[in-house]
Amino acid sequence: MLYILYMILLSLFCIFFRESPGFLVLLFICHIFLFLYEVTQIATDFFDYWGDMWNILDQLRGFTCTIYTILVWRGDDNTNVLLAVVIFSWTRGISYFRMFDGTRYMVSLLAEVIKDMREFFVVLFYSTIAFSFILFLRNPEITFFEYLGVSYRLDLGDWDAEYTSVFDWIIFFLATVINPLIMLNLLISIMGDTYGKVQESNDIANFQELTEMVIEIEKLMFWKKRLEHKHYLQQCDFKGHDEAGTDKITEKLKLLKAQISSVEGSMNEIKELVKENSNFEINAAVHCVKEEQEKMKNDIYQALTQSSMLVEKISSKLQID
């Protein structure tokens, strides 16, 4: 709620009260409370604090807000510094959508979309630079950076074609097909895949964001750090059969995937059992064959022994006769 109050004061200051020193003091007091909150977080968990992107944005917002306030009190109302304060403040405000159930998973969706777009932007930047060089070498009357702006406008479908050469029209055709048509439609496809991936794990993303907020609050409760008694975190969610907004197709897909995973697990268990049983039966058969061989060996040995004894008896009788 304090940050929402800060955003309201900042917005009112930018629109109506740029010339009011008293309103700036009120905004700075709210900023001081936010700064103390950040100092408490740093004191309770220094290393993990700097590993969170939102905390870094908090520090950038606080630093620029302090600099702007000092400059205004010294008589220098720097609009660029105020612009930096507004950018960092509104960007940091995105994280507060985690407070609401309907928008909580959108924060993770936004992060995943930006993460999946990294390779796409590398290729798009490469093609944009390439067409900028081609246009610059064809007509070096204006600077390369102006052609870079022209190529960027071509990416967005904004162009003013006044070419006369056949080669220029070929370049223009390739630039309008590759970047706006192919690349941007590829971007839409990437975003769709990312949305489907996040939607499949909607509950997981939702609870991850909720857990991060709970951990952030617990870190501030430093007086409870020595308590080692564990508790369960439970949530009761009552849903009707006709609840609005339920995506039946997604639920069916989740159920099918769960069933397929269960069947795969059962098949793997059966394979392991068959393999173990087969090895056991083979070992048992080999053991039986070895026992039969030993038995036959003993029988043959006994028969040979008896035969040799009979031969000796017969030969002794023949000698007596």
Residue 35 lies in a domain: yes
Question: What residue numbers bound the domain in which 36 lies?
Answer: 2-99
Q: Which of 179, 203, 223 is the last residue of a domain?
A: 223
The answer to whether position 259 is within a domain reads: no
- For residue range 123-153, list pLDDT tens digits in order: 888 888 888 888 888 878 888 888 888 888 8
Instruction: Name the domain boundary from 99, 122, 157.
Output: 99
In a domain, 92, yes or no: yes
Q: Give the integer Cα–Cα distance in Å for 251 and 256.
A: 9
Q: Is residue 100 packed enough to be buried (19+ CB in 10 Å), middle (13-18) or exposed (0-12)? A: exposed
For 254, 282, 300, 307, the CA distances from 294, given in Å and listed in that order, are 60, 18, 10, 20
Determine which helix (DSSP H) or strand (DSSP E) holds 206, and give its type and residue range: helix 202-220
CA distance linking residue 55 with residue 48, whole number of Å: 10
Report the greatest alpha carbon distance in the chain.
148
Which residues of the chain carry a pLDDT beneath 50?
241-245
Q: Assess whether 64 and 146 both reside in one domain.
A: no
The reported pLDDT for the residue numbered 294 is 78
With 0-12 / 13-18 / 19 or more C-beta atoms within 10 angstroms meaning exposed / middle / buried, residue 171 is middle
Q: Are residues 154 and 202 in the same domain?
A: yes
Tell me: do 52 and 78 sit in the same domain: yes
Same domain, yes or no: 120 and 91? no
State whether 86 and 166 are in the same domain.
Answer: no
Counted domains in the chain: 2
pLDDT at 224: 66
7 and 45 share a domain? Answer: yes
Residue 254 included in any domain: no
Together in a domain, 87 and 123: no
200 is a domain residue? yes
Please tell me whether residues 168 and 208 are part of one structural domain: yes
Regarding whether 126 and 184 lie in a shared domain, the answer is yes
Domain ends where: 223, 246, 272?
223
Each as own residue / partner, the long-range contacts of residues 270-279 (CB below 8 Å, 24 or more positions apart, any chain) are none
* CATH for 124: 1.10.287
73 shares a domain with 11: yes
Q: Say if 244 falls within a structural domain.
A: no
Global model pTM greater than 0.85:
no
116 & 219 share domain: yes
The three-state DSSP-derived secondary structure of 11-78 is: HHHHHCCCCCHHHHHHHHHHHHHHHHHHHHHHHHCHHHHCCCHHHHHHHHHHHHHHHHHHHHHCCCCC
Domain-located, residue 18:
yes
Whether residues 64 and 135 fall in one domain: no
287 domain residue, yes or no: no
Backbone CA torsion sign across 291, 292, 297, 300: positive
